[in-house]
Amino acid sequence: MEILTNKEEVREKLKNNPLQAAHLLRLNGYGSINYECACGETHDANGKDVSCKGSAKPFKALLKCSNNFVTMIKIEGFFRKKAISEYGFKASIMD
Ligand SMILES: [Zn+2]
């Protein structure tokens, strides 16, 4: 996973892969989808501590964890979903 360290890098990523509303991607109903977070821990994308901030095509979600890190994951698999972490950053760099 790529760790972004400043706003410009985040903007550049989002320009290439624009964000859409979080509700356009439904992750609930798939059970636990563990992903590697930019904070170094592994979280469940459907867990209580993780909130979905947006989605992107084709099947990506921007997730924020309780440690205040944001990670873009790509969901793969048809019946069994797995998450590939593409990039992440500390949420505070966007303040
Ligand atoms: Zn985290």
For ligand 1, a single-atom ion, which residues have Cβ within 5 Å?
A: 37, 39, 41, 65, 67, 69
CA distance 56 to 92: 21
- Position 29 scores a pLDDT of 81
pTM of the model: 0.94
Q: How far is the CA of 65 from the centre of ligand 1 (A)?
A: 5
The neighbour count for residue 55, using CB atoms within 10 Å, is 21
| pLDDT tens for each residue of 31-83 | 899 999 999 999 999 999 999 999 999 999 999 999 999 999 999 998 888 99
Q: How far is the CA of 84 from the centre of ligand 1 (A)?
A: 14
- Comparing CA positions, the residue from 9, 14, 48 lying closest to residue 28 is 48
Rounded mean pLDDT, 81-94: 96
Q: How far is the CA of 68 from the centre of ligand 1 (A)?
A: 7
- Position 80 scores a pLDDT of 85
Q: How far is the CA of 39 from the centre of ligand 1 (A)?
A: 4
pLDDT at 28 over 90: no
